[in-house]
A and B are shown apart, each in its own frame.
Chain A
Amino acid sequence: AQSVTQPDIHITVSEGASLELRCNYSYGATPYLFWYVQSPGQGLQLLLKYFSGDTLVQGIKGFEAEFKRSQSSFNLRKPSVHWSDAAEYFCAVGPYSGGGADGLTFGKGTHLIIQP
């Protein structure tokens, strides 16, 4: 069965500092990987996704993630965080079906706190 592990429940970062959120997955086939952000009481916003090709993926809001098959990881990074980045971040993996990803398995999320 597929699974996603986000080992850090909470992370506190100073504004302007760099950020890395960890994500490890377990999946029996080629994974389709995603990072989503969720503000309190809101839905999900897709930050970036990896289907194939270049393992370094650029997303919105200055985020990037690197797929490392040997480590089964898909860590999210940002060189300089802003106070507006404070939110819950979810890593997800999905199966390939009909040319894209279907129902997703989510990690438990990482709560990002930004210190002024």
Chain B
Amino acid sequence: GAVVSQHPSWVICKSGTSVKIECRSLDFQATTMFWYRQFPKQSLMLMATSNEGSKATYEQGVEKDKFLINHASLTLSTLTVTSAHPEDSSFYICSARDYGLMNTEAFFGQGTRLTVV
């Protein structure tokens, strides 16, 4: 299957700072990528849909000014958590779909563990 790479795998940052997470599709072009958030021992929640060359679409309740998404190319989307606070500590996972293929699912990255201290 297609490969989606996330970087970093884990990050620790101080409260009030910003942190950027990258999501790359390594062997296919992804017009659209998806960002999810998973709290400990809970399910994944879709945060936003990232569209190449246009603004991201955020799910209800997700602060767009806090979670900045940029999808500048067909293989890279970034999620920046701005002015991070301890309650932003979570597991962030991206996924991307190869729109050149029919009946395919989106492929998930390995996730990024964010800890805000």
Which residues on A are within 8 Å of B, measured CB to CB? 32, 34, 36, 41-44, 46, 49, 51-52, 90, 94, 98-109
Contacts and interface: CB of A to CB of B under 8 A. Distances in A.
Given A41-B113, A44-B108, A90-B44, A102 B32 contact: yes
Interface in B3-25: 6
Interface residues of B, number: 25
Contacts of B104: 99-101
Closest 9 CB pairs of A and B: A43-B110, A99-B102, A100-B104, A43-B111, A44-B108, A106-B43, A103-B46, A106-B44, A108-B43
B106 A107 contact: no
B113 A101 contact: no
Per DSSP, chain A at the interface is loop
Contacts of B105: 32, 34, 46, 49, 94, 100-101
A64 B32 CA distance: 29
Contacts of B54: none
